[in-house]
Structures are given as structure tokens and as C-alpha cells.
Structure 1
Amino acid sequence: MIYIKRTAIYLIGFNLLIVGISFLITSTYGQSAWDGVYVAFSKKAQIPVGLATILTASLILVVCYLLTNDWHVFLSLITSLIQSLLIDFYLTLVKNSWPSETPIVRIILFITGIVLMSIGISIYIQAKYPTNHVDCLMLSLARRFSLNLRTSKFVGDSIAIVLTLFIARQIALGTFIVLFSLSPLVQLISDRLAKPINQFIYSRQLI
């Protein structure tokens, strides 16, 4: 029963995360640092965003392995594969449901995307399943160079922004808003959700 509950929490949170990513990409006002890489790569190579995501994820996990010499990092490929499969589906759904033709719609999509991403991350990490490739990179940098998580995340996101600029030659201003707002929101929300979610997962049903 605990396994089923953890899986349910994971799926709910992860789907909210991908919907949030889809909202941000559709808004065109910016996205998280690594999502910017996937979108830029997708446009440059003329391939779906999902395919660009899994290809980038594979390279990131190779870097994680080189940093840690721990093959367990490749377990994150499972999460990354799920993300790549879902992103194209939700992107199509969001673009068809909320055409981003006016600034007000794009602003709503942008703000809602940040909130959904924060809620999604805060929920799915409680399941304690393998992280995605971005979180794996953050943990690998922290482990290899003895950094705290906030510093290693900043380093990873900075690398992503440089890669986006290299590929696309430009970057949306909203990307920096996401960069500086996402972590505090995740911390704020996860602090409030951790206890009730853990009570739900590990509570014993009365017969």
C-alpha cells in the first residue's frame, strides 16, 4: 500500500510539474534554465522538445557519472524518459487549450506555470523516487566539489543559461524570473506539504 501511495504522489506531482513547464514554454516569456536549453536545442535541430529533453538528459547523466563514478545516477534516466514523453503531450494540449496570442494570456500562462512547477516539484520529491537529470546534476556537483545544494543548483542553472545563449543567441527575460523565484517557492510549498504527504503515505489504515 505504501508503494502505491508513493507512486500516486509521484505521478500527481510529476504531471503538475510538466504541465507547469508546458505553460511556461507556451507563454514564450521564459522558462526554467534547463527547459530553455531543450527548447533552443529543439528549434535548432528541428526535433520535438521531448526528444531534445531526453538527449540532453542522457548527456547530463554521463557528466553526473564522470563527477561521481556512481552508476546509480543513470536511474534518473527513468524519470527523464517519463518527462520527455509527457512534455510533447502537454505542450500540444496547452497550446490547443490556451492560445497565447495576447500579452495578458501569456502573462497568466507564465505566472501559472511557475506556480504549477513549484507545487509539482514539492509534491513529487516527497515520493523519494529517483530524481530527474537536473536534480541529479545538482547533487553530483554538490558531492564532487563539496558545495551546498543552493550553490550547486546555481552553478548548474548558470551552465544551462550559457548553453541556451550559445545555441539560441538570446534568452527571454522571464527565464531569470523563473531562476530566482522557483527555488524559494519550492522550499516554501514543500515545507508545508511534507508533513501531510508523509502522513498520507505512511499512515496505516484501520480495519
Structure 2
Amino acid sequence: MKIRVFFYLIGLFFMGLGVTFTIKANLGAGAWDALNVGLSKVIGLTVGSWVFVIGVILMFINAFITKGKPKFLAIITILLIGFFVDFWMLVVFKNMFLDGMVKQVVSLLLGIFFIALGVSMYLQTKFPANPIDQLMISLHERFSLNFMVAKTIGEVVALILAFIFQGPIGIGTIIITFLIGPIIQMFSKPVSARYDLLLKR
């Protein structure tokens, strides 16, 4: 159980860090994060608060896709993700401003790395998934899509919504939209192998 909780919490911790790096890169955030930032600027509330609100909405959408019941335990996951995002954004990196394209690109790439690693880690635990990642799983289960395709579909939908709400869309958004799925796929096997090895100890 300790290993499961460790992977779960560290995975969400890394996700929050990755989201912050992609936003701070100022090259365009990931589609869902761009949506949350846009909603934060247009309506108010923190980015982390919108992570929670959008997550709750997606819980019901996922239930509709799978023709099942909403996974209400996922509220714990989205609360933690929202908390970690606000922790990194408003406490640790509140005054971080990147000057120069090299620093921005490095920040973007670090963000993609940590998001993909975080998703791969916490999904191993079988604890309630972030509704955004559950959308990927729901599409995978309902339509037999691989994770790369399912993740990309969700990202494109979020990209359209982010555009509507004037979120920070840029070249970084496009890069994240089409790279995050394949990188999660790439991390899945080695992370799963490490997780299984630790469980056997």
C-alpha cells in the first residue's frame, strides 16, 4: 500500500510541476491547461480551482461514454492536482518569468516530461484517475482505441474549448497536444516494470 500511495502522490506532484512549467514557458500551454488558464482570466478563480471544476464536469461525461456511474472518488485526485498546480504556480514559481527562447523551450520540454511521467506513475496505482486521463481510458475501453489516439482526441477537444475561452494557445500547445500521448505511451512500460518490481520487494 505504501508503494501505491507513494506512486500516486508523487505522480500527481510531478503533474502539477509539469503543468506549471508548460504555463510558465509562455509558448502556449497544454490544451486542458490553456482552457483552465483562460477560464481563470475570463471568469476568475485560480487555475487549480478550474482543474477541479472541469474535472467534475468530465466525471459525468466519462460516465456517459462508458454507460456507467460517475467515479466520485476521482474528486480526491482532482482536488490534489488542483492543489499541486496552485502550489507550484502561486507559491514556488509565483515570480518566475522566463526571458529568452532557450529558457522557454527548456521549460516547455521539462513540463511535457513531468506531466507524462506523473500520469504514467499515478495511473499504475489504480487509484481514481484524473477525469482528463479517465477520458483517455474511457475512449480506450469504449472504442478500443490505443492510449495515444484516445489521449490525442481529448487534447484536440480541449484545444477547441481553450480557443473559445481565449486561453494561452501557441506553438507549445500544438507540441503538447500531439506529443503528450506518445510520451505517456513511451513511459508506461518502464514505469509499470519499476512499479511491479517495487511491489514484489
TM-score, scaled to structure 1: 0.87
Corresponding residue for 1:23?
21
Contact conserved, 2:112 with 2:180, CA < 8 A, in 1? yes
* Alignment counterpart, residue 163 of structure 1, candidates 143, 149, 161: 161
5+ long unaligned stretches in structure 2: none
Corresponding residue for 1:201?
199
Corresponding residue for 2:81?
83
More helix by share: 1
Corresponding residue for 1:181?
179
| Amino acid aligned to 1:173 | I
Matched, 1:34 2:36: no
Corresponding residue for 2:55?
57
Deviation at 1:68, TM superposition (A): 2.8
Structure 1 distance, partners of 2:147, 2:115, is: 19
Deviation at 1:97, TM superposition (A): 6.6
5+ long unaligned stretches in structure 1: none
Contact conserved, 1:23 with 1:94, CA < 8 A, in 2? no
What does the per-residue CA deviation read over 1:92-139, in whole Å, with 9 as the maximum and x for residues that have no partner?
244347432333322221111111112222222222211101111222
What does the per-residue CA deviation read over 1:176-195, in whole Å, with 9 as the maximum and x for residues that have no partner?
10112222222222222221
Label 1:16 to 1:70 Cα distance change in 2 as closer, same or farther (>3 A): same
| Amino acid aligned to 1:65 | A
Deviation at 1:30, TM superposition (A): 2.1
Deviation at 1:196, TM superposition (A): 2.0
Corresponding residue for 1:103?
101
Let me know the Cα RMSD of the aligned residues: 2.0
What secondary structure does 2:73 align onto?
helix
| Amino acid aligned to 1:189 | F
Q: After the TM superposition, which of the residue ranges 19-28 and 178-187 deviates more from structure 2?
A: 178-187
Identity %: 28
Larger Rg: 1
What does the per-residue CA deviation read over 1:62-84, in whole Å, with 9 as the maximum and x for residues that have no partner?
21222334225222222111111
Structure 2 distance, partners of 1:106, 1:150, is: 26
Aligned length: 201
Deviation at 1:145, TM superposition (A): 4.5
Contact conserved, 1:22 with 1:94, CA < 8 A, in 2? no
Label 1:90 to 1:192 Cα distance change in 2 as closer, same or farther (>3 A): same
Structure 2 distance, partners of 1:117, 1:69, is: 29
Structure 1 distance, partners of 2:77, 2:168, is: 29
What secondary structure does 1:153 align onto?
helix
What secondary structure does 2:128 align onto?
coil
Matched, 1:123 2:135: no
Label 1:149 to 1:117 Cα distance change in 2 as closer, same or farther (>3 A): closer
TM-score, scaled to structure 2: 0.89
| Amino acid aligned to 2:166 | A
Structure 2 distance, partners of 1:177, 1:198, is: 31
Contact conserved, 1:73 with 1:136, CA < 8 A, in 2? no
Structure 1 distance, partners of 2:198, 2:144, is: 34
